Amino acid sequence: MHDREIIDRFEVFLKKKYIRALAKAVKSGEGSIQIDYGDLDLFDPVLADHLINEPNKTVELFMDVIASMDLSLEQGAAIIPRFHNLPESENIFIRNIRSKHIAKMIVIEGLVRQASDVRPVSALITFECPSCGTLIEQLQAAKKMLEPSKCPSCGRKGKFTQKGSKFVDTQRLVIEESPDMLEGGSQPKRISVFLNEDLVDPEIVKTTCPGSRIRITGVVKEIPIEMRSGVRTTRHDLMIVANNSESIEKEFEEIDITDDDMKELKKLAKDKNVYQKLINSMAPTIWGYERIKEAIVLQLFSGVRKKRADGTVVRGDMHVLLVGDPGTAKSQMLKYVSSLAPKARYVVGTSTTGAGLTATVVKDEFLRGWSLEAGALVLVSGGIACIDEIDKMGKDDRVAMHEAMEQQTISVAKANIQATLRAETTILAAANPKLGRFDPYGIIADQIDLPPTLINRFDLIFIIRDLPEETKDQKIAERILEAAEKPDAMVSEIEPSLLKKYIAYAKKNLEPRLTKEAIESLSSFYVTLRNKKTMQSDEAIRPIPISPRQLEALIRLSEASARVRLSKNVTKFDAERAIKLLTYCLKQVGIDPETGELDIDRIVSGISTSARSKIVTIREIIRDLESRIGTNIPMEDIMTEADAQGIEEGKAEEIIERLKRDGEIFEPKPNIIRRMPR
């Protein structure tokens, strides 16, 4: 088909289908119009094929047609046709892009991993010939500036004078395949995408921030790889110059469910043993861990995200932490969950670099600016992140995790970039004790390398201990050997594909509300436990067994329990299930061995109430002795007073060392203590 024929056909197509859209674009000052590829294919299949196979030339002809129409365009203005709804055959996975796709129009989908600043780039530079004064326009398509090879008038070669440039706003994105596109264990592939003109308008840029899922329609181009010496090699990188960009937020719930599937789901919901079946379907090759598997089931269903009238948001996602001895199948549990959820990612704390778990700012090698790069929690927003060895993550990630777990956003303020990214992510994490084995009498914050404030953000914390027990060991051995002998025999009671649909349907369609009975049950448990008579009831410092944060966890667990039954109401039955699960966890990590009572401070602050009481007593002893004998206080006197107050010598020495580390006291001479002046 000749150019003249293409132009004529395009003009007929635009006047027939898109004349109103063009008029609207001119009136509102827009730089482009959206054209449905399906309309073009119906009008003229040959033209549609021409667009796919020769997109650059075809789009230029399209723009020439628009410019020639009587649309009252301003001088130098142009309207760009942006195409969408290309056929399925042109939807290409990033990993499958090959040399045959170069200079063709394709469609890719993925997550924005990096987004650079918007920068002006010279699209066309005008040069002047010093000999004859001829003005030569040179298109710029490469990274380096291209000069004309020779003057078309006098034939002069080289050293032309630059007279002017036409600038185009450009932004570079790095698009990565999303987790639900990958087959088990596959590494997600990336490609650079360049947006320009109106695709970098402020409103559109909001939809292309790191972590967003987008669909790009564009032309594949090759970039020669240059060595440091400036010599070009025969190898090339691939990139995509975008013609169109569309935001597509695909969450956990977006799974196709047929009528037959719905019958199966309703049948499963009515089953009296639905909870046990779901528990048995969690990592069936691992024996035991009923409570942990129950917690993971509820975590997958999650609570209801709520937005209050004052604008504050209460998360519905539940975070679960597994702490335990080596060889107790923690990693295997995380791997199974990451393969079960449609939008999930398995990461290891020790191997997270660059953006890591949260987000970071990196230098952009193409546009010479800064790029915002998203980490695992942003990329899997709306899904579940399985983080192994979370105690070994980087310092920057550790700081950002506080915000990510509670507010479910990640704020970045580095270089010249200030941004807040969505991280509505459920976290299932595993950590190992610093000394190899977990000490049930020690405080959890002292045993894993995580701050108490971060540990407290987990709704449920499970301790997994590897203790010899003949009956249990026999069953574990039988399960491991059976799995080795018959690998295909270990199947879930519920097919993983059906389980995915069950969870997806529940999360998408059900927002269960608390009934009066459920509210009374949760309220009674919370108030009774907080005001329970204890051994220290008459003392100034009393242990706090549960805090409002745990009450919110109970609500989330109760809502998830209702979703398991596909129920719109949270009943007393759901509340009691949540209470049992939370109580089980609190007894594992919140019991003070000195008093035998629940003390949430062991998790929240890393210091139990009984220990804090002793610290306060030692401080008072030091102040009292200072008022009686002066600023220099003999250690022997402190020990005598401490013993009279019921604090044993070893504990008193430990507290004094702690006060020294905190800078409250110092030792000017051996065995002499002095308070730090205020």
584-593 per-position pLDDT tens digit: 888 777 565 5
Which tens digits make up the pLDDT trace of 407-420? 888 877 776 667 77
- Two tokens, residue 505: 């349907």
- Two tokens, residue 457: 């953000």
Which tens digits make up the pLDDT trace of 391-403? 887 777 777 788 8
Residue type, 417: I
- For 9-18, 142-151, 273-282, 534-543, which range has the lowest pLDDT when averaged over its residues? 534-543
Exposed / middle / buried, residue 459 (Cβ in 10 Å: 0-12, 13-18, 19+): buried
Please choose, from the candidates 64, 73, 61, the residue with its C-alpha nearest in 3D space to the C-alpha of residue 23. 73
Positions of E strands within 564-624: 569-570, 591-592, 597-598
Q: Count of alpha carbons within 13 Å of 528, Cβ hemisphere only?
A: 7
pLDDT value of residue 107: 92
pLDDT value of residue 253: 46
The answer to whether residue 539 scores a pLDDT higher than 50 is: no
- Cβ atoms of 40 and 51 closer than 8 Å: yes
Q: Alpha helix (H) ranges present in 69-209?
A: 202-205
pLDDT value of residue 391: 80
Q: What's the pLDDT band for 197 if we cut at 50, 70, 90?
A: confident
pLDDT value of residue 608: 56
Q: What's the pLDDT band for 119 if we cut at 50, 70, 90?
A: confident
Dihedrals phi, psi of 342, to nearest 5 degrees: -60, -35
Q: What is the chain's length?
A: 678
The C-alpha angle 576, 581, 582, rounded to 5 degrees, equals: 100
pLDDT value of residue 224: 74
The answer to whether residue 217 scores a pLDDT higher than 70 is: yes
DSSP annotation string for 654-668: HHHHHHHHTTSEEEE
DSSP annotation string for 282-297: SSTTS---HHHHHHHH
- Two tokens, residue 215: 């669909």
Please choose, from the candidates 19, 345, 305, 337, the residue with its C-alpha nearest in 3D space to the C-alpha of residue 179. 345
pLDDT value of residue 542: 53
Q: What is the C-alpha separation between 30 and 473, in angstroms, rounded?
A: 71
Q: What's the pLDDT band for 596 if we cut at 50, 70, 90?
A: low
Burial 535-556 (b: 16+ CB within 10 A, else e): ebeeeeebbebbbeebbebbbb
Q: What's the pLDDT band for 672 if we cut at 50, 70, 90?
A: confident
Domain locations along the chain: 3-85, 102-247, 259-505, 609-675
Across residues 637-656, what is the average pLDDT?
Answer: 83
Q: What's the pLDDT band for 540 if we cut at 50, 70, 90?
A: very low
Which tens digits make up the pLDDT trace of 254-263? 566 778 878 8
**Long-range interactions of 59-64: CB distance < 8 A, separation 24+:** 59/243, 61/3, 61/6, 61/7, 61/10, 62/10, 64/7
Q: What is the C-alpha separation between 635 and 618, in angstroms, rounded?
A: 12
pLDDT value of residue 591: 61
pLDDT value of residue 621: 85
**Long-range interactions of 634-638: CB distance < 8 A, separation 24+:** 634/671, 634/672, 634/673, 635/671, 635/672, 635/673, 636/671, 638/673
Spatial neighbors of 305 by CB under 8 A, at least 6 apart, are 313, 314, 315, 316, 317, 424
**CATH 1.10.10.10 assigned to 609-675:** yes
CATH fold match for the domains 102-247 and 609-675:
no
- Identify which has the larger pLDDT, 489 or 581: 581
Which tens digits make up the pLDDT trace of 61-105? 888 888 777 666 665 567 888 998 898 888 898 888 888 888 899
- Identify which has the larger pLDDT, 13 or 605: 13
> Over 230-258, what HEC string results?
CCEEEEEEEEEEEEEEEECCCCCCCCCCC
Q: Tell how strand 190-196 and strand 161-176 pair up.
A: antiparallel
Please choose, from the candidates 94, 107, 118, 110, the residue with its C-alpha nearest in 3D space to the C-alpha of residue 372. 118
CATH number of the 3-85 domain = 3.30.1640.10
Strand partners, 321: 429, 461
The DSSP output letter for 606 is S
Residue recorded with tokens 């220099």:
632
Residue type, 224: P
- Two tokens, residue 18: 């898109």
- State whether residue 383 is helix, strand or coil: coil
- Two tokens, residue 301: 């269903």
Q: Count of alpha carbons within 13 Å of 498, Cβ hemisphere only?
A: 18
Spatial neighbors of 499 by CB under 8 A, at least 6 apart, are 278, 281, 340, 492
The DSSP output letter for 82 is E
pLDDT value of residue 520: 92
Q: What CATH topology corresponds to 102-247?
A: OB fold (Dihydrolipoamide Acetyltransferase, E2P) (2.40.50)
End-to-end CA distance of the chain: 89
DSSP annotation string for 84-96: E---GGGB--GGG
Highest mean pLDDT among 138-142, 370-374, 629-633: 629-633
Which tens digits make up the pLDDT trace of 455-514? 888 888 888 877 777 777 777 787 777 777 766 666 677 787 888 888 888 888 888 999
Give the architecture (CATH level 2) of 259-505: 3-Layer(aba) Sandwich (3.40)
Residue recorded with tokens 């090698």:
365
Indicate the average pLDDT of the chain.
Answer: 79
